[in-house]
């Protein structure tokens, strides 16, 4: 019995090492697969939306900037929209997003104020004060356009991955036809870790939306970000 116990004691560490190696191997394989999927998604998004696509319909245009509080997204999107204006491709900047009930200022409004101060014109920028995610951002664009940029074509400004998701929900822009809509991507992130984080958040959101269905997904996002009373 003593010999059997001793043999079992000897084999236990070996079994633990094998289990640990299998666990590490599984985690490493998962990370490799996830990283490959993330960069494939980024390449696909960049191929579809990475180049500038101006509206096919002739006429004045406004840039619609989707607010993101995190850097480098915040600065890159803002600078991309200002560049469009300085290049003469748009004459108005419309900002959407960034509403949170616990913040004293709405993100879109702070960017509009910054644009007015930078460009020296009060009429150059307008903002929506109540949108808080991509779907509500899209729903806010038509009313904002009617007030601040009536009749103008729209150029949507965000990163390529976000523009791909926006493009999938463009039907929410009921006030404008496809020929009057354009896209301008902010630069692809130079930080691979940021790219990995953002793409995984996008993948997770898609899976949750698919699993819950459209209405339950919108309700979940509203509860999480908006907290209506």
Predicted pLDDT at 228? 45
Is pLDDT at 115 greater than 50 in this prediction?
yes
Does residue 72 have a cis bond before it (omega within 30 degrees)? Answer: yes
**Which pLDDT band holds residue 227 (cuts at 50, 70, 90)?**
low
Query: CA nearest 159: which of 198, 187, 195?
Result: 187
The residue extents of the domains of the chain are 1-229
d(C-alpha 60, C-alpha 78), whole Å: 20
**CA 61 from chain center: how many Å?**
22
Which of these ranges, 43-52, 104-113, 143-152, 185-194, has the smallest mean pLDDT? 185-194
Q: Where are the alpha helices (DSSP H) in 50-159?
A: 73-86, 107-119, 134-148
Classify 66 as helix, strand or coil.
Answer: strand
Please report how the helices 134-148 and 160-168 are oriented relative to each other, as an axis angle in degrees rounded to 10: 80
Q: Tell me, what DSSP letter sits at residue 161?
A: H
Q: How many residues does the chain have?
A: 229
Is pLDDT at 8 greater than 70 in this prediction?
no
Q: What is the pLDDT of residues 150-172, one digit of tens each?
A: 999 999 999 888 898 888 888 77
Residue with tokens 């899209």, as numbered in its chain: 138
Is pLDDT at 192 greater than 80 in this prediction?
no
Domain 1-229 in CATH: superfamily? HUPs (3.40.50.620)
Predicted pLDDT at 113? 93
Predicted pLDDT at 105? 66
pLDDT mean across residues, the chain: 81
Question: What are 63's strand-pairing partners?
Answer: 93, 155
Predicted pLDDT at 101? 66
pTM value surpassing 0.85: no
Q: What is the pLDDT of residues 35-94, one digit of tens each?
A: 777 777 777 888 888 888 999 888 999 999 998 887 778 888 999 999 999 999 999 999
């Amino acid at each position: 019995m003593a010999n059997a116990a001793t043999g079992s004691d000897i084999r236990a560490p070996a079994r633990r090492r094998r289990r640990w190696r299998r666990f590490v191997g599984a985690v490493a394989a998962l990370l490799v697969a996830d990283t490959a999927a993330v960069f494939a998604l980024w390449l696909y998004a960049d191929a579809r939306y990475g180049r500038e696509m101006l509206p096919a319909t002739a006429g004045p245009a406004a840039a619609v900037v989707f607010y993101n509080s995190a850097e480098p997204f915040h600065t890159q999107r803002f600078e991309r929209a200002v560049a469009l204006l300085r290049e003469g491709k748009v004459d108005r900047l419309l900002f959407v997003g960034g509403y949170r009930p616990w913040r004293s200022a709405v993100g879109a409004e702070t960017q509009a104020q910054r644009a007015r101060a930078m460009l020296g014109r009060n009429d150059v920028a307008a903002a929506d004060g109540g949108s808080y995610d991509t779907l509500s951002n899209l729903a806010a664009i038509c009313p904002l356009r009617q007030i601040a940029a009536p009749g103008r074509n729209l150029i949507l400004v965000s990163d390529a991955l976000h523009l791909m998701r926006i493009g999938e929900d463009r039907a929410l822009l009921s006030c404008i036809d496809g020929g009057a809509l354009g896209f301008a991507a902010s630069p692809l992130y130079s930080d691979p870790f940021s790219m990995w984080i953002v793409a995984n958040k996008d993948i997770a959101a898609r899976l949750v939306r698919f699993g819950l269905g459209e209405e339950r997904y919108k309700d979940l996002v509203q509860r999480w970000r908006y907290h209506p009373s």
